[in-house]
Amino acid sequence: MKRAPLIALIDGPLAADAPGFASRADICAMHPKAAESPAALHASSMAAAIHANAPGARILGLSIFAGRLSTTLASVAEALRRAAESEAEIVHCSFGHCKSSPLMDEAAAAVLGAGKLLVASAPARGAPVYPAGCAGVVSVQGDARCNSSQWSLLNLPGAQYGACPVTPGVPVRGASLAAAHFTGLLARACMSGGIENMLQYPSFTGRERIGTGGPQAA
């Protein structure tokens, strides 16, 4: 079995005791209470979701949220640049900017040009967000049909894939968590069978449809 991949998690400040913690670099100046902030909670939730499917994965934390879940385009671009130059095989972004920009496009392209997978969350409703909307990015939204080890092939305008949007006991949910679950599945596939093989076997295909009987495969 192949060694577990290194994953660059671009998010809030990742604690040293987070699952799979390998190292951390702060792109922006951290708030004095950053360790107790929503940003830290978000980062730890993403790490836990990744590890749910890939317990051996190692995580490089690249902090772009100083405390609140907001940042600058420049910080995102710098984090993507560092991820491109790192040894990470997968780069994970559970956030989105509402507008496309050449700076974001170039930074995302640098990651892809370095031969890495770039995974980003995409909302189920509304306009596209970035980097999920950038060319070549693996875009993921929440799909209530999926459990934590399942994924769906959606091929929607805003998202290629769907994954589980919740984890029991974790307050963060939605597209952010779904993307993290999917990143964990990709990491697991890297270790056994390969990603191309994994992507041949979705648990569901097509848009999630909610009717009187609950979620159904399209």
Q: Where are the domains of the chain?
A: 6-216
For every residue of 86-123, DSSP letters joined together read SS-SEEEE---BSS--HHHHHHHHHHHHTT-EEEEE--
In whole angstroms, give the CA distance from residue 88 to residue 74: 21
Based on its alpha-carbon atoms, the radius of gyration of the chain, rounded to whole angstroms, reads 16
Q: Which of 207, 58, 202, 69 is nearest to 144 (CA)?
A: 207
- State the average pLDDT over residues 133-155: 97
- State the average pLDDT over residues 79-98: 97
- What is the pairing mode between strands 90-93 and 21-26? unpaired
User: What was the pLDDT predicted at 210?
Assistant: 55
CATH architecture of 6-216: 3-Layer(aba) Sandwich (3.40)
What's the pTM value of the predicted model, to 2 decimals? 0.92
In whole angstroms, give the CA distance from residue 173 to residue 155: 22
pLDDT in tens, 9-50: 999 999 999 999 999 999 998 998 989 999 999 999 999 999
Q: Which residue has the higher pLDDT, 4 or 104?
A: 104
Least confident of 2-11, 134-143, 144-153: 2-11
pLDDT at 212 over 50: no
Encoded tokens for 144: 């209530």
Q: Which of 116, 137, 130 is nearest to 73 (CA)?
A: 130
What value does the mean pLDDT of the chain take?
Answer: 92
Share of the chain above pLDDT 70, in %: 95
- State the average pLDDT over residues 179-193: 95
pLDDT bracket for residue 169 (50, 70, 90): confident
